[in-house]
Amino acid sequence: MRRCFYFRGIGLAVGLMAGGLAMAQSADLAPLLKTLRDVDREGKGHRAASQAWAELTRQCDAHQLPAILAAIDGASPLAANWLRAAVDTVAERQMQKQGKMPIAELETFLGQKQHDQRARRLAYEWIARNDSTAPDRLIPRMLDDPSLELRRDAVARVLTAAEQALAAKDDELALTTYRKALQSARDLDQVKVVTEALKKLGHPVDLAHHFGFVQDWQLVGPFDNRQGKGFDTAYPAEAAVDLSANYSAESGTLRWALHHTDDEYGFVDLNKALGKHMAVVAYAVAEFQSDRQQPIELRLGTESANKIWLNGKLLSSAEVYHANGTMDQYVGRGELQPGRNLILLKICQNAQTEAWAQDWKFQLRVCDSTGRAVLATDRAGPRTTEPQTAAKAAQE
Amino acid sequence: MPRTQTILSRLSIALTLGCLVVALCAADWLQFRGPESNSVSPDAPPPAQWSDTGGIAWKAELPGRGPSSPIVVGDRVVVTCSSGTKQDRLHVLCFDAHSGKPLWERQFWATGRTLSHPSSANAAPTPASDGRLIFAFYSSNDLVCLDLDGNLKWFRGLAHDFPHAGNDVGMSSSPLVIGDVVIVQVECQGDSFASGVDKLTGESRWRIPRPREASWASPTVLRGATPPQDLVLLQSPSQITAHDPASGQQRWAYRVACDGISSAVASEGTVYVPSKGMTALKSSASSEPEVLWNAPMLQPGAASPLIDRRNLFAINRAGVLVCANAADGQIVWRVRLEGEFWGTPVLAGNRLYCISQKGKGQVVQISDDGRRGEIVGGGQLDGTIQCSPAISDGALYVRSDQHLWKIAAP
């Protein structure tokens, strides 16, 4: 018995020494990691960082990977890439030596959701390359993970299960499983798969509601945008939003007009709403009721030059025409205030005459940083047989 | 006398061996359209036929998409890819040229805009190398420098520095290394510029504003009498300009509507620019080049023209390969090819290698007198192919969105 305690004591001492050694090693890495985190625009800090990177990858072993991964937390996008390359280099050398990867330490890092989500995903990928059981062990519990890449893998597994239920003609199970996938899915391609399946099962989804597309707008235009000058001209409609105001323009007196879109992706076609014009500016305003202060993203899709304001603050600006309009193309990050908020968009059309340059439309949604819809508190419920969408469920 | 004979004999052997070594030393294919940006290889031509049963030395899988072309540095083949639902994962891969074995892979996270037309991808620009370092560039305007063993030397996010740099249709201009400078052309409706980046440190040596118009053309080298006299040509939809690569200082400009995709090619002081068909410009010390000729019938499609000393080649939008006399732009022969072409053909010996977007390779043999061209072979590769092939050591390297092939004689 005494002998057992004796060995346990030795084990503990060795463990503490090893732990202390690892801490000391991590502490030694700190100046190198700081040098990498200090890289900045225009190549600032590169000379020191290049030496630090070489030293870091020379002296590090795989057990220090969590320390490098943790250094990605809060790092600039530039520094994150220097650190990522160090992680990959150390890990790849470990594998080439056929050495053991510190799976347990990496899994601990993966489990700590406060870390940078790309770093957690990177940790997972090195785990999975060394442990074939990792996807089955780890991914199913990541359906609501803050890492969208990990979440995507988990959703894919649920979709597979739903398809299997469909194949087995168990519609009830398929319905439940697809609904589960819809609650977690954030990527458009996966949402499309789910909604098409649910539609076939007789349960169509209100996509505009699911994604948080704004469907009710006040529109005014057209204002002059010849030679592109309208983009930087603050017309009265922009300078102070007054929905009861009249504006004098070349085409006559302009007034704000209500516009509702039933498009499932929230598109507002300005060619139809305001008439077909070239080299013009339109404004769109939406009121948004929020029950609390909360950070949100205003995600705009349009082929037109645009600006996004929230409560008078400019969040995003892009003077780009006809470059492949896509959902979530431009992101303005802001904060909703409790009560009434005002979203203002400026959507500019240029004078290009090509057939592909005639679109003058936009879609805008309000969501959180993961892409989950944030719905106005006074918004009507979804036009669907679904009991509740992911967004509604999350808000409730 | 015997002693003299011995010395001469040894000298002769040394010279012969020297020539042999030079002859055996395969030329690297260091950048988009090869070492001289003219799509011509000094090496022996690769096989004229290939199929699943012959002519393919190896085939390697790729983890992501990319219209970018492979490059060959010594015995290493380097390819870039992009992956992820947002095309925000940037890959640089290195393969052993002899075996196709993967040697290393590095990944990065895009810092700029990653959207593109579905037919393109973030990994659209072709990487470049100076023989010791690799410079990988992406549509997101991320520029990565690695050594040949995959060690990071530096990382630049040009769209992180200039947030309005980008084009959601995708960008594709490939970097070019001249001397100690990596030259990138970031031309778009937002922050539009060209920049010379110090190849060793990644620091900006120069940056000049460019027209705020979308352009997909790549910078081209115009060789001078000596390396310090080399110029870089920057082609935009409304002009082509020549600059000192070390300082970015403009040497001449020619204001003319140029193609937005197909890039100029240069040889012996003459620039052949896809403009109003094709226009030949004689570079000069004055502020504007001399126009030598214009050939409206030589309008290339997306693929860039290529040039050997006497002939200029272009594939037009109808898929017809046109050969013209480089001296006057007169058409010498035409050959109708099958398919649409994004990749620029490459020339080795008397053979032109043209790979269509659907992977149909067509090899055109040029007669010794240059007066005729005919399809003599080819082969089918699977997948979408938008790259321009690389040639090194008698092998042709081609990549699709899924695979990299080496086509070579056994």
In whole angstroms, what is the distance from residue A267 CA to residue A363 CA? 4
In whole angstroms, what is the distance from residue B155 CA to residue A41 CA? 10
Any idea what DSSP says for residue A65? H
B63 touches chain A (CB under 8 A): no
CB–CB of A320 and B189 under 8 A?
A: yes
C-beta contacts of A181-185 below 8 A and 24+ residues apart: A181/A155, A182/A210, A182/A389, A182/A390, A183/A390, A183/A393, A184/A143, A184/A144, A184/A151, A184/A154, A184/A155, A184/A158, A184/A390, A185/A155, A185/A390
* Token couple for A298: 């205003």
Closest C-alpha among B281, B280, B309, B307 to residue B295: B280
DSSP A161-178: HHHHHHHTT-HHHHHHHH
Strand residue runs (E) in A22-147? none
pLDDT in tens, B173-199: 999 999 999 999 999 999 999 999 999
Contact yes or no for B382/B404 (Cβ under 8 A): no
Count of CB atoms within 10 A of residue A282's CB? 26
Any idea what DSSP says for residue B49? B
Count of CB atoms within 10 A of residue B93's CB? 25
Nearest by CB to residue A329, choosing from B111, B115, B157, is B115
Contact yes or no for B306/B34 (Cβ under 8 A): no
Q: Which residues of B touch A189 (CB under 8 A)?
A: 85
DSSP B282-327: E--SSSSPEEEEEEGGG---SSPPEE-SSEEEEE-TTSEEEEEETT
* Token couple for A200: 């076939």
Q: Share the mean pLDDT of chain A.
A: 91
- Core vs surface per residue A42-51: b (16+ CB within 10 A) or e: bbbbbeebbe
CB–CB of B167 and A323 under 8 A?
A: yes
* The predicted structure's pLDDT at residue A25: 52
B211 touches chain A (CB under 8 A): no
In whole angstroms, what is the distance from residue B343 CA to residue B333 CA? 21
In whole angstroms, what is the distance from residue A366 CA to residue A336 CA? 10
Q: Which residues of B touch A46 (CB under 8 A)?
A: 154, 201-203
- pLDDT grade, residue B244 (50/70/90)? very high
For the four alpha carbons of B242, B36, B156 and B187, in that order, the dihedral sign comes to positive
Residues forming beta bridges with residue B366, ordered by sequence position: B373
Q: Which residues of B touch A80 (CB under 8 A)?
A: 109
Size of interface A-B (CB pairs under 8 A): 99
Tens place of pLDDT for every residue, chain A, 396 residues? 333 333 344 433 433 343 344 444 555 899 999 999 999 999 999 999 999 999 999 999 999 999 999 999 999 999 999 999 999 999 999 998 887 899 999 999 999 999 999 999 999 999 999 999 999 999 999 999 999 999 999 999 999 999 999 999 999 999 999 999 999 999 999 999 999 999 999 999 999 999 999 999 999 999 999 999 999 999 999 988 999 999 999 889 999 999 999 999 999 999 999 999 999 999 999 999 999 999 999 999 999 999 999 999 999 999 999 998 899 999 999 999 999 999 999 999 999 999 999 999 999 999 999 999 999 999 988 875 444 444 444 443
State the amino acid at position A185 in one-letter form: A
In whole angstroms, what is the distance from residue A283 CA to residue A222 CA? 8
CB–CB of B106 and A41 under 8 A?
A: no
Contact yes or no for B298/B324 (Cβ under 8 A): yes
B334 touches chain A (CB under 8 A): no
Closest chain B residue to A302, measured at CA: B168
Contact yes or no for B389/B346 (Cβ under 8 A): yes
B101 touches chain A (CB under 8 A): no
- Over 90: is that where the pLDDT of B3 sits? no
Return the H-helix or E-strand segment holding B21: helix B2-24
Q: What is the CA radius of gyration of chain B?
A: 21
CB–CB of B161 and A41 under 8 A?
A: yes
Task: Look at strands B346-348 and B40-41 and give their pairing.
Answer: parallel
State the amino acid at position A163 in one-letter form: E
- Over 90: is that where the pLDDT of B169 sits? yes
Q: Which residues of B touch A85 (CB under 8 A)?
A: 106, 108, 152, 155
Closest chain B residue to A325, measured at CA: B168
Closest chain B residue to A301, measured at CA: B168
Q: Share the mean pLDDT of chain B.
A: 93
In whole angstroms, what is the distance from residue A101 CA to residue B308 CA? 53
Count of CB atoms within 10 A of residue B67's CB? 27
pLDDT in tens, B305-331: 999 978 999 999 999 999 999 999 999
| ipTM score over 0.85, yes or no | yes
Residues forming beta bridges with residue A285, ordered by sequence position: A218, A344
Mean pLDDT to the nearest integer, B129-133: 98
Closest C-alpha among A270, A275, A281 to residue A235: A281
| Nearest-CA distance B88 → chain A (Å) | 11
The residue with tokens 């499609």 is: B301
CB–CB of A318 and B204 under 8 A?
A: no
* The predicted structure's pLDDT at residue A26: 57
Count of CB atoms within 10 A of residue B374's CB? 11
Closest C-alpha among A184, A162, A186 to residue A172: A162
pLDDT in tens, B19-62: 444 334 568 999 999 999 999 999 999 999 999 889 999 999 99
- Residue A135, exposed/middle/buried by CB under 10 A (0-12, 13-18, 19+)? middle
Most distant pair of Cα atoms in chain B: their distance: 77
This prediction has a pTM of 0.91
Mean pLDDT to the nearest integer, B96-107: 97
In whole angstroms, what is the distance from residue B94 CA to residue B101 CA? 9
Q: What is the CA radius of gyration of chain A?
A: 27
In whole angstroms, what is the distance from residue B311 CA to residue B203 CA? 39
- Core vs surface per residue B224-244: b (16+ CB within 10 A) or e: eeeeeebbbbbbbbebbbbbb
Mean pLDDT to the nearest integer, B281-300: 93
* Token couple for A368: 């959180």
| Nearest-CA distance B25 → chain A (Å) | 30
A118 touches chain B (CB under 8 A): yes
B108 touches chain A (CB under 8 A): yes
- Over 90: is that where the pLDDT of B158 sits? yes
- Residue B33, classed as helix, strand or coil, is coil
- Residue B250, classed as helix, strand or coil, is strand
* The predicted structure's pLDDT at residue A2: 36
Interacting residues of B80 by C-beta distance below 8 A, sequence separation 6+: B66, B68, B90, B91, B92, B93, B123, B125, B126, B127, B136, B138
A16 touches chain B (CB under 8 A): no
pLDDT in tens, A168-205: 999 999 999 999 999 999 999 999 999 999 999 999 99
Any idea what DSSP says for residue B227? G
- Residue B170 Rama label (left phi>0; alpha psi -120 to 50; beta): left
Helix-strand-coil percent breakdown of chain A, rounded to 5? 50, 20, 30
CB–CB of B201 and A50 under 8 A?
A: yes
CB–CB of A85 and B108 under 8 A?
A: yes
- Over 60: is that where the pLDDT of B370 sits? yes
First-to-last alpha carbon distance for chain A, in angstroms, is 57
In whole angstroms, what is the distance from residue A129 CA to residue A119 CA? 15
CB–CB of B204 and A42 under 8 A?
A: yes
- Give the rounded percent of residues in chain B with a pLDDT score beyond 90: 91
The residue with tokens 């349009």 is: A302
Closest C-alpha among B10, B157, B42, B37 to residue B90: B157
